[in-house]
Structure 1
Amino acid sequence: MDFVTVDRNTPLLLPVDMRDWVAEDDPVHFILEAVDRVDLSAFKVKRTRAGKSQYPPRMLLALLIYSYSHGLFGSRRIERATYRDVCVRYLTGDTHPDHDTICAFRRENHAAFTVCFLEALLLVRELKLGTVAIDGTHLRTNLSKDRNVTYERAQQLETRLSADIEALCTQAEQADNTDVDEHLPAEIARRQSLREQMDAAPANKPT
């Protein structure tokens, strides 16, 4: 019987294009498109020592919006997603901001973050980019009834979204205050060590 060859050790011959791994209708595209149009002048930019670059506020904003819309609130979980989640790796350009950076960005820019979060969601709607779900609020921008929404209804939607965003920020803060590092212990984190632990396990069983 022939089986598909699964080779995890041979390096890929051609560079990976991460765009091929993300579906065309994935919300990550809608969020990135909207965030590109948001004015981020109110965000704080730290003066860093020479040689140390910081992550772009636009990328961190998109990372938080995408993560919160997918139920990822703790900064440690978001950091791990930059390694494990293909869409998040695409969003960050395969960079990996640590949890302290993610948490500090939200805390230090809370007011600007909530304003830009709302603006990005409304842009998703206005630009007919797709559907983004935030805490049960769906922005289906390609429906004709949305194109004819009244001013009063638009104000109601904006108010509701603002409340939802504030609730998400509160949930994120709570997650960061209670989150713990769930990484494997250092002594078994590497594959070789884990293999040795597993090989030794039968010998340690009581007879």
Structure 2
Amino acid sequence: MKTRSNLHFKALTSQQVVLFPSNIGDRIPSGHPFRIVNQVVDSLNIDDILSGYKGGGTSSFHPRMLIKVLFYSYFCNIYSCRKMSQALQENIHFMWLSGNSTPDFRTINDFRGKRLKDKIHHLFAELVRLMADLGYVSLDIQYVDGTKLESASNRYTFVWKGSTEKNKAKLEEKITRVLGDIDSSIK
């Protein structure tokens, strides 16, 4: 194999130790969605979750960090605790959100299944409300895609406009009820 003398490559620095490590937050755009999740979760009231911790023994991962990881995982369509744990070790956004903490999948699953069992719906509704207050989402307009797709299993089944409007009304009623519950609990 013949080599050329005019070839030049950038230095490979993957094994190089640096004196001052770089800030991973500097590598991510300021408007990235994980920053929104971080901001909104920081403003959530989690006193009822904190009161469930007894203290003593070994230290626990902070529940606010675990909530951030859960909500951002859901945002990224990651629902498996094993995949969340893997993302905490491999994905720069998850690393930043968790402060480089790496809870294993059992810890994430126990937190979601035991500590947030009856609280996750309330937290998620509060998250949506805060995002609406900050202008990231709108609860005023809801769009329904009216695309009709033919299926091989039953080619005459379509979702009709009346059905979508009925479901939209139910959804709006549920959102109103949830937001009313949030308002009364805040007062």
Which residue in 1 is equivalent to 2:172? 156
What is the RMSD of the two structures over their aligned residues, measured on CA atoms? Answer: 2.5
Q: Deviations over 1:127-154 (max 9, x none)?
A: 12x4xxxxxxxx3x5xxxx6xx39xx9x
Q: Deviations over 1:104-161 (max 9, x none)?
A: 1111122212211221122112112x4xxxxxxxx3x5xxxx6xx39xx9x718639x
C-alpha separation in 1, matches of 2:78 and 2:133:
26
C-alpha separation in 1, matches of 2:112 and 2:8:
52
Which residue in 2 is equivalent to 1:133? none
Which AA in structure 2 matches 1:156? E
Q: 1:157 to 1:69 in 2, by over 3 A?
A: farther
Which residue in 2 is equivalent to 1:111? 118
Q: CA deviation at 1:16?
A: 2.2
Residue 76 (structure 1) aligned to one of 63, 79, 82: 82
C-alpha separation in 2, matches of 1:42 and 1:73:
24
Gaps of 5+ in 1: 131-138, 163-207
Q: 1:38 to 1:158 in 2, by over 3 A?
A: farther
Q: 1:157 to 1:21 in 2, by over 3 A?
A: farther
Q: Deviations over 1:12-32 (max 9, x none)?
A: 221221211221111111111
C-alpha separation in 2, matches of 1:156 and 1:12:
54
Which AA in structure 1 matches 2:88? T
Which residue in 1 is equivalent to 2:27? 21
C-alpha separation in 2, matches of 1:124 and 1:4:
44
Contact 1:62–1:91, Cα closer than 8 Å, also in 2:
yes
Which residue in 2 is equivalent to 1:8? 14
Q: CA deviation at 1:71?
A: 1.1
What secondary structure does 2:175 align onto?
helix
TM-score (normalised: structure 2) = 0.67
Which residue in 2 is equivalent to 1:174? none
Contact 1:61–1:113, Cα closer than 8 Å, also in 2:
no
What secondary structure does 2:20 align onto?
coil
Q: 1:158 to 1:96 in 2, by over 3 A?
A: farther
C-alpha separation in 2, matches of 1:32 and 1:61:
9
Contact 1:118–1:158, Cα closer than 8 Å, also in 2:
no
Q: CA deviation at 1:48?
A: 5.2
C-alpha separation in 2, matches of 1:40 and 1:28:
19
Which AA in structure 1 matches 2:74? Y
Please identify which structure carries the higher helix content. Answer: 1
C-alpha separation in 1, matches of 2:55 and 2:47:
18
Q: CA deviation at 1:41?
A: 1.7
Bigger radius of gyration, 1 or 2? 2
Which residue in 1 is equivalent to 2:157? none
Which residue in 1 is equivalent to 2:65? 59
TM-score (normalised: structure 1) = 0.61
Residue 42 (structure 1) aligned to one of 48, 53, 56: 48
Q: CA deviation at 1:6?
A: 1.8
Which AA in structure 2 matches 1:93? G
C-alpha separation in 2, matches of 1:90 and 1:157:
37
Q: CA deviation at 1:64?
A: 0.3
- Count how many residue pairs are aligned between Structure 1 and Structure 2: 142
Which residue in 2 is equivalent to 1:186? none
Contact 1:34–1:121, Cα closer than 8 Å, also in 2:
no
